[in-house]
Amino acid sequence: MSKLSDKSLNDLRNEISELVETLDEKPYSANIIGICLRQIDDYYGKDEAEKAMVDFDLGSHGWSVPNV
């Protein structure tokens, strides 16, 4: 298992939660959120990634969020 995949689903969701608050302040927050979503999709499935997008209201920050 690589270092990138060592994070649990909860760890990845917590990271997204923290980064959403800094989207307007830190230039790479959106990139890191995208990486976290990709990891969730790869290791926990598309449904979990979509759930994270909805739960953290990423649609209001420019992500294309599916109708779940």
Say if 52 falls within a structural domain: yes
Domain assignment present for 39:
yes
The pLDDT-based confidence of 19 (bands split at 50, 70, 90) is very high
68 lies in a domain? no
Number of structural domains in the chain:
1
- Could you tell me the pLDDT band of residue 1, with boundaries at 50, 70 and 90? very low
Q: Is residue 30 part of a domain?
A: yes
Cα distance between residue 11 and residue 47, in whole Å: 17
Q: DSSP assignment, residue 63?
A: -
In a domain, 64, yes or no: no
In this structure, is residue 65 part of a structural domain? Answer: no
Q: What is the identity of the amino acid at 13?
A: R
- CA dihedral (55, 40, 26, 17) positive or negative: positive
Q: Is the pLDDT of residue 13 over 80?
A: yes
DSSP helix, strand, coil percent of the chain (3-state; round to 5): 70, 0, 30
Is residue 63 in a domain? no
The CA-based diameter of the chain, rounded to the nearest angstrom, is 34
Give the domain range for residue 44. Answer: 3-57
Assigned domain for 67 exists = no
